[in-house]
Amino acid sequence: MPPGPGPQPLPPYPKPRRKRKRTEIADYNKLPDAQLSDWLANFATVAAANAAALGLTPTQVTSINTANTAFSGTMAAKIAAENAAKVATLNKNDQRLSSLVVIRTFANQFQANPSIPDSLIQALGLNLRTDDPTPRDVFQPLGLVAMGCDQLNSLKWDKNGNFPGTIYMIEWQQPGGAWEILTATTSAKFEHEGTTAGEQVSYRVYAQRGNKKSLPSNVSTVFSGGMPGGAELKVA
């Protein structure tokens, strides 16, 4: 019996495919909006520059560019709206302060006036005045100092032993004009906002508690937006 064929050579063992090294890149699906906007812009730019290598048709390139520009447009609109909201909030806060200064002046006057009935005070939405069991005297405020700063004049004075809750009526006067009530406060300081730079203004303060009223303080005169550092011009 003739010998059979010898062992057959094995087919060449295929070389293992070289795995592409994976570079860790942040998942674009989870990027914050600002970073995603940059990522989309880069994606669209690289895709358009390498359309042939990526097998993209012109229509597909246009689709990618449209997705990029649409998102960047809405991002710009969002940022503009946020900035506008910030400005609107600042304007609202400024007007709130200005409105409260005006209303507080009258509210304090009404609450300090014993001839106004409690029912009317309540109708205005104000707290009723508290009657002191023992009448208390009021004393002349001392050492009024007005400092002229940029678009506001800062006032401060010594309460001179007046009891807590005493109302201080602040009056102001422009050259040649009469004294007018500016505001009322229970504090020993006040900032007069919205003054005109270079305008001469005089101030005085008196204490009031119920129907009792002190002598006015000294008169302090400044030029609004005055000397550097808000230096006082004159105290009478």
| Average pLDDT value for residue range 128-142 | 76
Region of 175 (left: φ > 0; alpha: ψ -120 to 50; beta: rest) is beta
Question: What is the span of the domain harbouring residue 187?
Answer: 142-235
| pLDDT of amino acid 13 | 57
Same domain, 125 and 193: no
Same domain, 209 and 159: yes
Same domain, 102 and 67: yes
Domain count, the chain: 2
The answer to whether residue 204 is domain-embedded is yes
Summarised one tens digit per residue, pLDDT across range 183-229 is: 899 999 999 887 777 788 999 999 998 778 999 999 999 987 654 33
The answer to whether residue 36 is domain-embedded is yes
| pLDDT of amino acid 16 | 63
pLDDT at residue 97 is higher than 70: yes
CATH number for 164 = 2.60.40.10
Decide which of 86, 108, 129 is a domain's last residue: 129
The answer to whether residue 77 is domain-embedded is yes
Q: Which two tokens stand for residue 149?
A: 């700063």
Percent of the chain residues topping a pLDDT of 90: 41
- If one compares 146 and 22, the residue with the highest pLDDT of the two is 146
Query: To the nearest whole number, what is the mean pLDDT of the chain?
Result: 83
| pLDDT of amino acid 233 | 35
Same domain, 104 and 148: no
The answer to whether residue 44 is domain-embedded is yes
How far apart are alpha carbons 207 and 214 in whole angstroms?
A: 5
Is the pTM here over 0.95, yes or no? Answer: no
